[in-house]
Structure 1
Amino acid sequence: MCGITGLFDTREQRSPERERLHRMNESQHHRGPDEGDLHLQPGVGFGHRRLSIIDVATGQQPIFNGDRTVALVFNGEIYNYQALMAELQAAGYAFRTKSDSETIVHAWQHWGEDCVQHLRGMFAFAIYDSRRQCLFMARDRMGVKPMHYALLPDGWLLFGSELKSLLAHGGLSRELDPCAVEEYFALGYAAEPRTVFKGAKKLAPGHCVLWQRGAASEPQPRPYWDVKFTLDSRISQADAEAELRERLTESVKLRMISEVPLGAFLSGGVDSSAVVATMAQVQSDPVITCSMGFDDPKFNEIEFAQMVADRYRTAHHVQTVASDDFDLIDTLARLYDEPFADSSAIPTYRVSQLARRQVTVALSGDGGDETFGGYRRYRMHLMEERLRSALPYGLRKPLFGTLGAVYPKMDWAPRFLRAKTTFEGLARSSVQAYFHSVSILRGPMRDALFSDRFKRELGGYNAFEVFEHHGAKAGTDDPLALIQYLDYKTYLVGDINTKVDRAAMAHSLEVREPLMDHPLIEWLATLPSHLKIQGQEGKFLFKKAMEPLLPHDVLYRPKMGFAVPLARWFRGPLKQRVRDSLLGDRLAATGWFQRDYLQHLVEAHQSGQRDYSAPIWTLMMFEGFLRQVVDAPESIGLPVPQREGAVA
């Protein structure tokens, strides 16, 4: 695990500047505090910060082939590297190390661009081949590891694990992309392939791109993998449960290969509990587990984590955090390099901080809700789909559109009376309805928030186009499979994986994700949807498969989530900060927001009339990003001294 960065001259073979490359590399010191190195040659420069996990003695990067015509920088883990190494040795390739990194070098020599088809794991890498005068970049199938890049007007290509490494170069403009800002206020993040900066992009999951020196135009990334929901397996439920346990065990085993201390997050939810239970079956020593508790019982799952820890006699570590742990706001704004609106980044940051005191590698349960069908919104969507299918669109749209427009928004009321969102969803197509349900600020709110100037800059763009694009490629009209596919392409990568990668790597912690193993996902995509959600029970097959291994109360209790009490913060200890942030000079200076609407959000929330905590947090994080990143060109990307609770 590490941070990678580099420069590639797409036009000639100019010499890269060592000082710029050093600055880019050191901006990611937190991702790899163990070692760091640079490689420069005409036309290319690679930087690497290493967190030593596998082949600690000889796995340094950049790494080369025998005659040094191929150079690699790589972030992640290739879990099948031992089998690949044996295959490549049989084909005549000599290995100088025992690292998974060298496996990618020889896989490139042997298979070229198709090398990615042979890799199982989480990865983002760049390979320079001096014979072919090209740079090849690739990102793992589920987008666990990040890759950012920017082509500058002078022909230099920059790339790096985090945007801060590109900003540290000094040549990337901080001009914001209005379309990315629209996506942020709808979804809470700028969706792949956009970044918040006009000149930079993210390489999308399951994509690769070949940069050929001297080419007439910029290459377009191409997909090398996608999940196909066939739903055509005729396996029995009993056999599916057994096979799921076998596949999970294999996935967990592969992710337990390490030469440094390894443990797991244990939240008390189904996903992390299943991972810990499986780990306990695999190893004889007690599993090291880490849990985060909260002093507010409405947000505390610690008793359920303790049930699992007791059952498997894990070496369990618990930290209780005050429910008013809100001093990370500016830290998070700087950490993510882009505006990022998932408030659960706070507890994720804290549990990563706790875990790093015990281990260097932690397994997590991330991806379980998307993979097995666990979100409550999935069940709500399926109920709406049954209604949508009963009435033609031409009748539904005017009928429920009118009801949605006139029905009051009643956040304070019991859930069964909050029908406004349901009516609005019934007036839409399936993809439109799902986008509407996951949006933080829905269309009418964004319309009220944005100024006329910003709307002109958008030029008619709407964040729904992200979902429309992916929906057209889903290849299924099954209601559950469709929204799982949408989440794989948007929420999982843009929110969950981004949140965990930055929060964990801020503490030099590697997090591995057995529930995002792509062979497991491919197999689950063959199973009919009724095995994932049955009636009102989400994760049906997963829970049934885990019944022999986990307590009933862990499997079948109501889902709690990793939340923080925003609504109370914004009416209490952060009341003035909300006003300063939303009604202060920095947001006003953009000219992008309607001050009257900002005033409405603040007053209505703080008076208790409405719960606007999610839109307020989204605006606060945007304002923090403007101050911490856009307005701080001298400091962004430079290392900060490590201290307890700080980000490098």
Structure 2
Amino acid sequence: MCGLVGLFDTREERPVGRALLEAMNDRLYHRGPDGSGTHLEPGLGLGHRRLAIIDLDGGDQPLFSEDGSVAVVYNGEIYNFRELAEQLRNRGYRFRTRCDTEVIVHAWREWGKDCVHRFRGMFAFAVWDRAHRTVFLARDRIGIKPLHYAVLEDGTLAFASELKALLLHPGLSRELDYRAVEEYFAYGYIPDPKTILKGVHKLPPGHRLTVRRGAPVPAPEPYWDVPFSDGGTAPDERAAGEELGGYLAEAVSIRRIADVPVGAFLSGGVDSSAVVAMLAQADDEPVRTCSISFGDPRFNEASHAAHVAERYGTDHSVQEVNPQDFDLVDRLAGIYDEPFADSSAMPTYRVCEQARKRVTVALSGDGGDENFAGYRRYRWHLHEEGVRRHVPQALRGPLFGSLAAVYPKLNRAPRIFRAKATLESVSRPSLEAYLDNMGVVPDSIRARLFTPRFRQALQGYHAAEVLRGHAENAPEHPLSQVQYLDMKTYLPGDILTKVDRASMANSLEVRVPVLDHHFVEWAAGLPPELKYHRGEGKYLFKKAMRPHLPDEVLYRRKMGFAVPLDEWFRGPLRDKVREALLGPILQDTGIFRREALEGLLEQHQSGKWDHSAVLWSLLMFAAFLRQLEKEPVVAREELHGDYATP
């Protein structure tokens, strides 16, 4: 795993400043502490930080073709690189290393932009083709690895693994994107392709971008999508279960390739336990597993993890997380670079920190809920869709909206008794309702929270536009539709971002076998009833894992990976959250109504309502603004300078 940066003059061949390029590269030290490399030539600068995983003595980057005409900087792992190397050798290409990086160079020369179709793995990379005066950027199909880019006013294309490297560029505007702010408070993260800053973009998953000097910079081009197929005859359940087990075992097996210690996260949930079971059965040595425990039994899965560890004889390590572990609050802003409101980033950081003491590569179970319909919100969505599809919106809106208005708000009661929320949800169109069900700050609170000036600046823009855009390509079945939407938004924007930044902050590579694109494509072709069946999510996945895992792991209630925010904001973080929300850092933005902030605080800290998710999102936004003020900028005189002759 690594970090990359680049500067490309899209208009002419002005020299790139060495000091600027090296400063940008050094900002990504945490992503690659094992080595550093830069290359400059007229109109181009490439930088790379290396975390050595395969071919420890070779594979330094930027890596060039033999004739020096093609170079690559790359972050990720291509698991089928040996097979591709053999194909390319048969076509006359010569290899000087044993690493997957060189495969990208020759694959580009052989197949051009279609090389991405050959790669199996997680990746973000930039290819420089001198003969064609072209920079080619690509990101893996699922979005496991990040890539940010911006086209600056002077025609420079700047790109980097993380936003913090781009922030050093004196030509980069730090103006907030108000639409991204609206999206952040709705989703708890900023979905691709936006970032919090105007003019800076994330290359979306499954996209590529070809930029030629002297030509306008085009929009990114999609090269892959999740191929959901809801029709056809359902396969034999037993045979499908065996096939699922085979896919998972193979996806785990190919992710064992490394020249450094490999282990796995073990939370005690279904997905991580399944990955550990497959890994343990494929390895002769005890698997090194890591988990964390919480003092609060509502969040503690340590006993279930220990059960799986004992069954498979893993070399298991458990670290207890301090229930008052809020020292990370301010650090998270520096790790994520933009507002990020998933509080499970805190325990995720801690488990990565623990794992790095024992391994350099860790396998995780991320992606199982999206692939096999494991989220509880899918159940409620299907129930609500049953009503929506039988009652027209023209009747449903007024009827259920009126009922919701008179029903008491019982937000601390179990979901089954919170009819007000259900009635409000059913009264809305499907996508807006799903956003409110899975989002962080509901529409009703955002309406009170934002100032009239800010709402005017949005010009009617609503965060649901993100889902509407993706829904144009989504399957028709209501379950497959929300799975598809989550794979386009929540999975890359929240889950994979959380793991990438937390792991890379600890110089740890995390691999996700459940998101192997072959496995994802196979799962997408299953009928919905094999994923969600009679109230049970992950139906086929759990049945397929029964020979490998006990029922008390497979069929227990899902716990999640959360922290006790509600108690924190009434106790040890009471003053901190009040200071952050009512202090000048938020007030000076002109985005938030002070009386709304005071109301949220009073309702939460008095115990009347649980606004912990809303308050956390505001706390993280304030932490981001403080961090942005402190971000350094390279002096403008370092923008251009001497360059090395290639």
* TM tier relative to shorter chain: over 0.9
Alignment-derived partner of residue 220 in structure 1: 219
Cα distance in 2 between the residues matched to 1:636 and 1:120: 37
What residue identity is the alignment partner of 1:153? E
Stretches of structure 2 that go unaligned for 5 or more consecutive residues are 636-646
Matched ranges for 1:206-605 at <5 A: 206-215=206-215, 217-231=216-230, 232=232, 234-474=234-474, 476-605=475-604
Offset of residue 633 of structure 1: 2.9
2:403 aligned counterpart, secondary structure = helix
Contact map agreement 2:170 2:634 (CA 8 A) in 1 = no
Offset of residue 402 of structure 1: 1.9
Aligned residues: 634
RMSD across aligned positions (CA): 1.2
Contact map agreement 2:149 2:160 (CA 8 A) in 1 = yes
Matched, 1:140 2:140: yes
Matched, 1:200 2:205: no
Offset of residue 459 of structure 1: 1.4
Cα distance in 2 between the residues matched to 1:481 and 1:450: 33
Alignment-derived partner of residue 643 in structure 1: none
Alignment-derived partner of residue 644 in structure 1: none
What residue identity is the alignment partner of 2:553? V
Alignment-derived partner of residue 21 in structure 1: 21
Contact map agreement 2:167 2:633 (CA 8 A) in 1 = no
Contact map agreement 1:53 1:259 (CA 8 A) in 2 = yes
Q: TM-score, normalised by structure 2?
A: 0.97
Offset of residue 413 of structure 1: 2.6
Alignment-derived partner of residue 644 in structure 2: none
What residue identity is the alignment partner of 2:119? L
Alignment-derived partner of residue 99 in structure 2: 99
Alignment-derived partner of residue 58 in structure 1: 58
Contact map agreement 1:23 1:169 (CA 8 A) in 2 = no
Matched, 1:187 2:187: yes
1:409 aligned counterpart, secondary structure = coil
Offset of residue 416 of structure 1: 2.2
Offset of residue 502 of structure 1: 0.2
Offset of residue 52 of structure 1: 0.1
Matched ranges for 1:121-160 at <5 A: 121-160=121-160
Alignment-derived partner of residue 87 in structure 1: 87
2:74 aligned counterpart, secondary structure = strand
Contact map agreement 2:153 2:171 (CA 8 A) in 1 = no
Contact map agreement 1:164 1:636 (CA 8 A) in 2 = no
Q: TM-score, normalised by structure 1?
A: 0.97
Contact map agreement 2:20 2:634 (CA 8 A) in 1 = no
Alignment-derived partner of residue 632 in structure 2: 634
Cα distance in 2 between the residues matched to 1:295 and 1:633: 36
1:153 aligned counterpart, secondary structure = coil
Offset of residue 470 of structure 1: 0.4
Offset of residue 634 of structure 1: 2.5
1:504 aligned counterpart, secondary structure = helix
Contact map agreement 1:233 1:526 (CA 8 A) in 2 = no
Contact map agreement 2:122 2:140 (CA 8 A) in 1 = yes
Contact map agreement 1:186 1:440 (CA 8 A) in 2 = yes
What residue identity is the alignment partner of 1:634? P
Offset of residue 233 of structure 1: 5.1
What residue identity is the alignment partner of 1:558? R
1:441-477 per-position Cα deviation (integer Å, ceiling 9, x unaligned) = 1112111100011112111111110000001111x11
Cα distance in 1 between the residues matched to 2:436 and 2:404: 12
Offset of residue 395 of structure 1: 1.9
Offset of residue 636 of structure 1: 10
Cα distance in 2 between the residues matched to 1:585 and 1:427: 38
Cα distance in 2 between the residues matched to 1:633 and 1:61: 27
What residue identity is the alignment partner of 2:120? R
Cα distance in 1 between the residues matched to 2:30 and 2:618: 27
What residue identity is the alignment partner of 2:618? L
Cα distance in 2 between the residues matched to 1:233 and 1:493: 31
1:72 aligned counterpart, secondary structure = strand
What residue identity is the alignment partner of 2:575? Q
Q: Give the share of equivalent positions with the same residue, in percent.
A: 57
Contact map agreement 2:39 2:45 (CA 8 A) in 1 = yes
Offset of residue 591 of structure 1: 1.0
1:602 aligned counterpart, secondary structure = helix
